[in-house]
Structure 1
Amino acid sequence: MVLSVCPNPSIDTYAWLEDFQLGKANRISKQEEFPGGKGVHVAMALQEAGAPTVLMAAWAGHPGEWIKAACKERGMATVGVDLKGMNRKCYTFLAEATAIRNTELMEPGPEMNGEDFDRFVGVFKDNLRQSALTVMSGSWPKGAPKTAYRELIAAANGSGKKVILDCSGEQLTHALEEKIFGIHLNEHEAKQYCGTSSVHEAFDKLHEKVELIALTKGKEGLFLSYQGTRLHANVTLEKVISTVGCGDCLTAGVALGVSRGYGVEEIARYGAAFGAANCLRPDLGMIYKADVERLLPQVNINELTYG
């Protein structure tokens, strides 16, 4: 079983408007809502691919119940802790006539105090026992310690369990004070932490603490370093509908490959195929198994060399 940790889930909302005028009433003509948060996207992708998954999150209010119900409809088990307040909503406004198209507004979400975090750690340790691999993704609610991921990783390391991490900022900096099995960073996060745009230099620095490194560069695809092998994997798409959640789905593909004991090339292949599959439909942060299966043989993989 893969334990997918999403400390700060959300409801991702697409809202269509013909126009947007400041200072006036604006009517939304169409609205769609999806379970959101990086870890939620990871869990949904794994579940769709047939990998047994449990989603762990901090749940709050009616939005939290809605997210859990949406996950249950997809056959996913959910665990976690309840917080006061409401899980956040993240709005993407689509107005054809104005520059507001693809403008995002994000609610603050609930707060987490020290007692809440201690309960979260307890539930994590309970579910860690049944997991073969843990994927931790995204931000934390306000009030959570800056060392939250580091503490979870230390617990996993103490139990001999592998962790794949996808986060940024202070959480990432503190997390890398521990040894981590795997990590996914985009090019901006890698440059911020490693101080370089060079893929090889970033690999060298991160390998001081990390065994498996997945570094993504948008359309350029996935750069993977693991077990002494460095690969570039990418797939060409004729049409891209939405890129929201592509990195999360790519993380899920890498996690699936690791959980099944695949070799480095197959891990890269699944990572690239999962990320690309998310681009093919308007559903935010979701993949379809049929799309992944069609894309897998189309993934181009090349070994990276220095210089």
Structure 2
Amino acid sequence: MIYTITFNPALDYIVSVDDFQLGKTNRTTEETILAGGKGINVSIVLRNLGFDSTMLGFIAGFTGEEIRRRLVETGYHTELIPIKGTSRINIKLKSYDGTEINGLGPEIDSENLQMLLHRLDKLQPEDILVLGGSIPESIPDSIYKDIMVRLSDKNILIVVDATKDLLLNVLENRPFLIKPNNHELGEMFGVTLNKRSEVIPYARKLQERGARNVLVSLAGNGAILISEKGEVFESPAPKGRLVNAVGAGDSMVAGFLAGWLESGDYGKAFRMGVAAGSASAFSELFATREQVDELLNQI
């Protein structure tokens, strides 16, 4: 079974505004509301690619209930723990690619956290666990590492898609896959990385520190993978029109897992990851299997 954890789910309010101006009233020309968060996004794309998963995490207040309602009514399997407070709303401004205003999210106390940890204790050998995204300030940034240590004797494949300390803290615990983007990777080492050739040596450094497979996305410049077998895969991005970059990186993680589960081959997993990430970026919603298969011919 595949499980995804989203500590800080959100309602993603995705809007387009023509000629956006600071300090003035702006009106949307398009808007979409989606249940979001890295783990949730991964689960959505996994199902589109033919793989079911269970969404774990926390929801709070009326926004949390709306997140749960949208997911359940669409047929996803959720085990989201209700807590006090209000789940966040994130604003994604499509008119300015990459411009977002993300909420803080509710406080998660020790009792809430223990409920999730006890649920994780029930995972079985060879399950897959995806840890993704930011965490509320109430949780220590060692939480991903703490989870990996707790599950270390279960032979569970763990994927981590997070930034800076959340990611760096887990490397010695040998995660199956990590997926920073080029900006996050550069921030870890105090450098600017724009080209695939520049990314490779720094991705190797993360592998040397313990990560089994390192997948790095570079948006319009494609992606690279350093596999645990020592293979280096790289690809430019397929051709297409950017429609919505929200969730493209999460889609890449889902595509990689789907490709690996189908074949056990890292080359196939890499191609599926690039295709899924690009298909989501070229779509209003997340990548479908048909879109991914079509893009595979370009990679």
| Fold conserved between structures, TM > 0.5 | yes
Label 1:30 to 1:271 Cα distance change in 2 as closer, same or farther (>3 A).
closer
Cα distance in 1 for residues equivalent to 2:127 and 2:101: 36
SS at match of 1:281: coil
Post-superposition shift, 1:113? 1.6
Label 1:67 to 1:230 Cα distance change in 2 as closer, same or farther (>3 A).
same
* Equivalent residue for 1:174, pick from 155, 169, 180: 169
* Equivalent residue for 1:246, pick from 240, 245, 248: 248
Label 1:236 to 1:25 Cα distance change in 2 as closer, same or farther (>3 A).
closer
Q: Which residue of 2 aligns with 1:61?
A: 61
* Equivalent residue for 2:120, pick from 114, 120, 124: 124
Contact 1:150 1:177 (C-alpha < 8 Å) held by counterparts? no
SS at match of 2:173: coil
Residue type matched to 1:164 in 2? V
Label 1:260 to 1:220 Cα distance change in 2 as closer, same or farther (>3 A).
same
Label 1:224 to 1:239 Cα distance change in 2 as closer, same or farther (>3 A).
same
Q: Which residue of 2 aligns with 1:302?
A: none
TM-score (norm 2): 0.89
Q: Which residue of 1 aligns with 2:111?
A: 115
Label 1:188 to 1:102 Cα distance change in 2 as closer, same or farther (>3 A).
closer
Q: Which residue of 1 aligns with 2:152?
A: 157
Contact 2:94 2:244 (C-alpha < 8 Å) held by counterparts? no
Label 1:5 to 1:174 Cα distance change in 2 as closer, same or farther (>3 A).
same
Cα distance in 2 for residues equivalent to 1:143 and 1:44: 27
Task: Tell me the C-alpha RMSD between the 2 structures.
Answer: 2.3
Contact 1:92 1:104 (C-alpha < 8 Å) held by counterparts? yes
Label 1:30 to 1:213 Cα distance change in 2 as closer, same or farther (>3 A).
closer
Post-superposition shift, 1:103? 4.4
1:189-212 CA deviation, whole Å, 9 max, x = no partner? 112224554333223311220111
Cα distance in 2 for residues equivalent to 1:296 and 1:29: 33
Label 1:210 to 1:108 Cα distance change in 2 as closer, same or farther (>3 A).
same
* Equivalent residue for 1:228, pick from 227, 230, 235: 230
TM-score (norm 1): 0.87
Identity of aligned residues (%): 26
Post-superposition shift, 1:238? 3.1
Label 1:74 to 1:262 Cα distance change in 2 as closer, same or farther (>3 A).
farther
Residue type matched to 1:108 in 2? L
Contact 2:175 2:212 (C-alpha < 8 Å) held by counterparts? yes
1:165-204 CA deviation, whole Å, 9 max, x = no partner? 1001221222224221211011121122245543332233
SS at match of 1:273: helix
1:238-287 CA deviation, whole Å, 9 max, x = no partner? 3221112111100111122233342121011101110111022122xx11
Cα distance in 1 for residues equivalent to 2:26 and 2:266: 51
Q: Structure 1 stretch 70-79 or stretch 207-216: which is displaced more? A: 70-79
Label 1:144 to 1:237 Cα distance change in 2 as closer, same or farther (>3 A).
same
Matches within 5 A, 1:203-214: 203-208=203-208, 209-214=210-215
Q: Which residue of 2 aligns with 1:291?
A: 291
Unaligned runs of 5+ in 2: none
SS at match of 1:141: coil
Cα distance in 2 for residues equivalent to 1:104 and 1:130: 38
The alignment status of 1:51 with 2:55, answered yes or no, reads no
Cα distance in 1 for residues equivalent to 2:219 and 2:27: 34
Matches within 5 A, 1:62-141: 62-93=62-93, 103-126=99-122, 128-129=123-124, 132-141=127-136
Q: Which residue of 2 aligns with 1:268?
A: 270
Q: Aligned pair count?
A: 292
Post-superposition shift, 1:225? 1.1
SS at match of 1:260: helix
Q: Which residue of 2 aligns with 1:148?
A: 143
SS at match of 1:143: coil
More strand by share: 1
Q: Runs in 1 of length 4+ with deviation above 3 angstroms?
A: 15-31, 100-103, 194-198
Label 1:162 to 1:136 Cα distance change in 2 as closer, same or farther (>3 A).
same
Cα distance in 1 for residues equivalent to 2:56 and 2:44: 12
Contact 2:260 2:268 (C-alpha < 8 Å) held by counterparts? no
The alignment status of 1:219 with 2:220, answered yes or no, reads yes
Unaligned runs of 5+ in 1: 300-307
Contact 1:132 1:259 (C-alpha < 8 Å) held by counterparts? no
Contact 1:14 1:91 (C-alpha < 8 Å) held by counterparts? yes
